[in-house]
């Protein structure tokens, strides 16, 4: 009578159900598509090269790390920030407020500020990634090859570079302190549980570690192939890092030798190259730099956003960056670098912090409205800015975009041979090798100033004064001024620079680093909170 027997039907259905509905064994095994496993990442030289590529990107880029802020991160931020704190890049107005707190010395003195957090965290990420690579290779069974040497070389070099950034920033300067007792930064080798990090080592111990690392890096890189591009750490770049470490330590012999090796093959820029805007790492002087392409831009957190007068961002348009007028006025007329700043640019911004902006009436350099605005138009059209851009006396045009008036990305230069010349010259002078120093200074100086005559700097003192001047001009805006103050134990004094006290506040004058621990950055509170070996009493 019935079409089918419900009992039998149902039973078979349960059986079918039980068989087909119980999930297959790998039902619960899922893998992500936006990442690879850590095991795979460290399983082959090819993959370790990928990790290094990620580091190359992170040198300049916005922070990618979990829990970090994308703002105030990477060399794109820290180069101009260190020069804002160090007084080399002078802001002509609060602009849109970006970096005002840096130049007022409110960020690095505050353990909860993003600047401090990111600087520390990112450097230690480089250390951790290098550790992973170095540990994996030492634990593993990889055939020695030029590629493997390249990987090990760069990993050791990054570790040295990161510790150097850290120890010179978060500890008392080597040359002005007591390195064997001054607290440095934690030295970490492990990337495994229990993730407790380490106590602060002494400055001396950190230097020892860096020196070992950079020497290892160099010996590996000597047996590696040539670098893929300038974003990789080459043998030359490793020597450059070694020279920087030695310089900050006052190890003049090493500094001079390493600097000489670093610049080998990277000839000094000529005038047109020097005045081309420092926007590409293809410049022959560039030893190490970051190539920034459209799809990897930092947008409004890019280096050129902060530094280039042509960048079309609100940071810039009302806040052209200026050089100390006292410094600029020392540049000889025969030195082509004087074209990198415009001492007579009209002060068009009514909100300029020096109170002289807005019209020919307030700007002492101009007597009529027409002259004033004509001068502005001339600057605008010559450098490709927009009508929204303001100009200011002593504004920089050293950094110019490839595509002025836009927000297009430009490269970030980390190391070039001029710096190496200046390290070598300074070291020679410090070793009292006066004539060798003069000779090299002449080579460098005449490449910038057709009338340059090094023989007038006949004593160590005169030489050092000249080297300081050269460093300040040549490397203006490239991130060295803050640490140079520490090395030279010089106070920060903006009295005759053109900086406005009302804008600079605490950043207008700071006592010399040997007397004033405000030069030592605060250790991030997040580190103190989570590191069992560091308490608030260990804070700088």
Partner 1 sequence: MVLVVQIIYAQKKTVAGKILDENGLPLPGVNVIEEGTSNGTQTDFDGNYTITVESGATLVFSYVGFVTQKTVVGAEDVYNLTLKTDSAALDEVLVVAYGTTTKESFTGSASTIQAEQLEQRSLTSPLSAIEGNSTGVQFLSASGQPGSSPSIVIRGVGTLNGDTDPLIIVDGVQFEGALNAINQNDIKSMTVLKDAASTSLYGSRAANGVVLITTKSGKGKQDLRVNIDSQVGVINRAIPLYDNVNPQEYYELMWQSYKNSLDVDNAAAEASATIFNRLGYNPFNVPNDQIVQENGQINPNAEVIFKGLDWYGALERTGQRLFNSADVSVGGANHNVFFSVSNLKEEGYVVTSDFERTTARLKGDFVPTDWLTLGGNINMALSSSNGPSSRGSSIANPFGFAKNMGSIYPVYIVDPETGDYIRDAAGNLQYDRGEGYPDFGIQSRPTNVGRHAIEEVLLNDDKTETNNYGIRLNAGFQIVDGLELNLLYGQDVNDYINKRYENNLVGDGQPAGRYRETRFRRIVENFNQILNYNKSLGDHSFDLTLGHESFDRTFSEVFGFKNTQTAEGIYEFDNFSTIASLDGYTSDKTLEGYFSRLNYNFKEKYYLSGSVRRDGSSVFDKDVRWGNFYSIGGAWRVNQENFMSNVHFVNNLKLRASYGEVGNDDLNDYYISQPRYSLLPNAGNPGIFWSDLGNSALTWETIESWDIAIEFDLFDYRLSGSLEYYKRNSSDLLYNVPLPISMGLNQGPANIGDMYNEGLELGLNGIIVDGNNFKWNLGLQFSTNNNKITFLPDPFVTGSKRWIEGRSIYDYFLYDYAGVDSENGDALYYAYEEDTETGENVPVINEEGEHVTLTDPTEANRTYVGATAVPDLVGSIRNQFSYKGFSLSFLFTYQLGGEILDYGYADMMHEGSYGESLHPDALNAWKKPGDQTNVPRLENGNPNLAPSLSSRWLTDASFFSLRNVNLSYNFNNDMINDMGMSSLRLFVSAENLFLISERKGLNPQYNLQGTPGGNDYNPSRIVSAGVNISF
At closest approach, how far in Å is the CB of 126 from partner 1?
8
| Token couple for 476 | 């203006």
- Binding flags for partner 1, 457-496, as an x/- string (CB under 8 A): ----------------------------------------
258-287 binders of partner 1 (CB under 8 A): none
Per DSSP (E only), the strands in 216-275 are: none
Q: In terms of DSSP bridges, do strands 341-342 and 509-510 run parallel, antiparallel, or are they unpaired?
A: unpaired
Out of 405, 439, 443, 514, the only residue in the binding site for partner 1 (CB under 8 A) is: 405
Q: Which is nearer to partner 1, 14 or 330 (CB)?
A: 14
Strand, coil or helix: 147: helix
386 touches partner 1 by CB under 8 A: yes
Q: Which of residues 137-196 bind partner 1 (CB under 8 A)?
A: 185-186, 188, 191, 195-196
Shortest separation between residue 527's beta carbon and partner 1, angstroms: 5
Applying the rule CB under 8 A, the residues between 35 and 74 that interact with partner 1 are 35-41, 47, 50-58, 64-68
Binding of partner 1 at residue 291 (CB under 8 A)?
Answer: yes
Q: Any contact of residue 127 with partner 1 (CB under 8 A)?
A: yes
- CB nearer to partner 1: pick between 64 and 273: 64
Kindly tell me which residue out of 272, 295, 381, 456 binds partner 1, with binding defined by CB under 8 A. 295
Burial level of 536, CB count in 10 A (0-12/13-18/19+)? exposed
Residue from 117, 161, 399, 482 binding partner 1 (CB under 8 A): 117
Q: Pick from 28, 180, 272, 333: which binds partner 1 (CB under 8 A)? A: 28
- Going 33 to 39 to 40 to 42, the CA torsion angle's sign is positive
Residue reference for tokens 């138009």: 377
Residue 387 and residue 422: Cα distance in Å, rounded?
Answer: 39
- CA triplet 461, 464, 467: central angle to 5 degrees? 155
Residue 381 near partner 1 by CB under 8 A: no
What does the alpha-carbon distance between residue 463 and residue 528 come to, in Å, rounded to a whole number?
A: 43
* Least separation in angstroms between CB 248 and partner 1: 21
- Taking contact as CB under 8 A, which single stretch among the options 22-30, 146-154, 257-265, 449-457 is the one that binds partner 1? 22-30
CA neighbor of 470 nearest in space, from 531, 427, 422, 435: 422
Under the criterion CB under 8 A, does residue 506 sit at the interface with partner 1? Answer: yes
What residues between 331 and 370 interact with partner 1 by CB under 8 A? 348-351, 355, 358-359
Cβ distance to partner 1 smaller for residue 18 or 143: 18
Is residue 501 within the footprint of partner 1 (CB under 8 A)? yes
Residue 294 lies near partner 1 (rule: CB under 8 A): yes
Binding residue for partner 1 (CB under 8 A) from 45, 94, 404, 498?
A: 94
Output 28 or 272, the one with its CB closest to partner 1.
28
Helix/strand/coil for 201:
strand
> Which CB atom, from 96 or from 223, has the smaller least distance to partner 1?
96
Give the pair of three-digit tokens for residue 81: 């920030």
Q: Are 190 and 214 in contact (CB under 8 A)?
A: no
Q: Which residues contact 174 (CB under 8 A, 6 or more apart)?
A: 168, 203, 207, 248, 249, 250
Is 147:190 a contact under the CB 8 Å cutoff?
no
Q: Is-contact 465 488, C-beta < 8 A?
A: no
Minimum distance of partner 1 from residue 165's CB (angstroms): 13
Degrees to nearest 5, angle at CA 49 with 46 and 53: 140
Q: Of 112, 432, 455, 516, which lies in the binding site for partner 1, with binding defined by CB under 8 A?
A: 112
Residue 110 touching partner 1 (CB under 8 A): yes
- Omega before residue 79 within 30° of 0, cis: no
Site for partner 1 in 227-256 (CB under 8 A): 228-229, 231
Site for partner 1 in 407-466 (CB under 8 A): 407
CA distance 145 to 107: 45
**Residue 442 and residue 481: Cα distance in Å, rounded?**
23
Decide whether 36 or 458 has the Cβ nearer to partner 1: 36
d(CA 231, CA 223): 19
Task: Verify binding: residue 114, partner 1, rule CB under 8 A.
Answer: no
Residues in a beta bridge with 253: none
Least distance (Å) from partner 1 to the CB of residue 381? 17
Minimum distance from CB of 467 to partner 1 (Å)?
A: 33
**Contact call for residue 76 and partner 1 (CB under 8 A):** no
């Amino acid at each position: 009578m019935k079409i089918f027997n419900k009992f039998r039907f149902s039973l078979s259905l349960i059986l079918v159900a039980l068989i087909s509905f119980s999930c297959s064994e790998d039902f619960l095994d899922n893998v992500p598509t936006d990442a690879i496993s850590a095991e795979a990442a460290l399983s082959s030289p090819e993959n370790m090269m990928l990790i290094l590529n990620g580091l190359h990107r992170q040198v300049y880029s916005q922070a990618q790390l979990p829990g970090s802020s994308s703002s105030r991160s990477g060399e794109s931020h820290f180069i101009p920030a260190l020069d804002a704190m160090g007084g080399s890049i002078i802001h002509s107005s609060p602009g849109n407020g970006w970096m005002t707190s840096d130049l007022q010395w409110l960020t690095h003195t505050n353990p909860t500020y993003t600047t401090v957090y990111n600087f520390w965290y990112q450097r230690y990420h480089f250390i951790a990634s290098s550790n992973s690579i170095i540990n994996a290779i030492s634990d593993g069974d990889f055939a020695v090859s030029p590629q493997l040497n390249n990987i090990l070389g760069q990993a050791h070099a990054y570790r040295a570079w990161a510790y150097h950034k850290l120890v010179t920033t978060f500890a008392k300067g080597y040359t002005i302190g007591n390195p064997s007792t001054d607290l440095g930064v934690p030295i970490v080798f492990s990337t495994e549980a229990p993730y407790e990090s380490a106590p602060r080592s002494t400055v001396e111990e950190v230097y020892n570690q860096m020196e070992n690392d950079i020497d290892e890096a160099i010996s590996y890189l000597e047996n590696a192939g040539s670098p893929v591009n300038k974003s990789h750490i080459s043998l030359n770049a490793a020597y450059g890092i070694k020279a920087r470490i030695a310089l900050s330590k006052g190890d003049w012999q090493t500094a001079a030798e390493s600097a000489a090796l670093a610049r080998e093959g990277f000839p000094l820029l000529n005038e047109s190259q020097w005045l081309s805007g420092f926007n590409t790492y293809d410049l022959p002087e560039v030893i190490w730099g970051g190539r920034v392409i459209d799809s990897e831009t930092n947008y409004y957190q890019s280096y050129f956003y902060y530094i280039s007068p042509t960048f079309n961002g609100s940071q810039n348009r009302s806040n052209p960056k200026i050089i100390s007028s006292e410094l600029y006025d020392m540049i000889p007329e025969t030195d082509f670098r004087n074209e990198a700043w415009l001492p007579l640019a009209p002060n068009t911004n009514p909100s300029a912090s020096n109170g002289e902006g807005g019209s020919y009436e307030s700007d002492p350099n101009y007597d009529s409205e027409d002259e004033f605005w004509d001068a502005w138009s001339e600057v605008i059209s010559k450098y490709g800015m927009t009508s929204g851009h303001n100009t200011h006396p002593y504004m920089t045009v050293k950094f110019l975009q490839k595509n002025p008036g836009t927000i297009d990305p430009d490269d970030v230069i980390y190391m070039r041979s001029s710096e190496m010349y200046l390290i070598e010259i300074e070291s020679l002078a410090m070793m009292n090798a006066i004539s060798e120093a003069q000779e090299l200074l002449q080579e460098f100086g005449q490449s910038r100033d057709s009338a340059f005559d090094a023989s007038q700097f006949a004593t160590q003192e005169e030489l050092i004064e000249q080297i300081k001047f050269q460093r300040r001009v040549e490397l203006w805006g490239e991130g060295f001024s803050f640490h140079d103050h520490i090395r030279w134990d010089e106070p920060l004094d903006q009295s005759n620079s053109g900086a406005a006290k009302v804008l600079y506040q605490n950043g207008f004058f700071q006592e010399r680093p040997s007397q004033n621990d405000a030069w030592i950055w605060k250790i991030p509170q997040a580190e103190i909170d989570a590191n069992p070996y560091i308490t608030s009493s260990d804070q700088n």
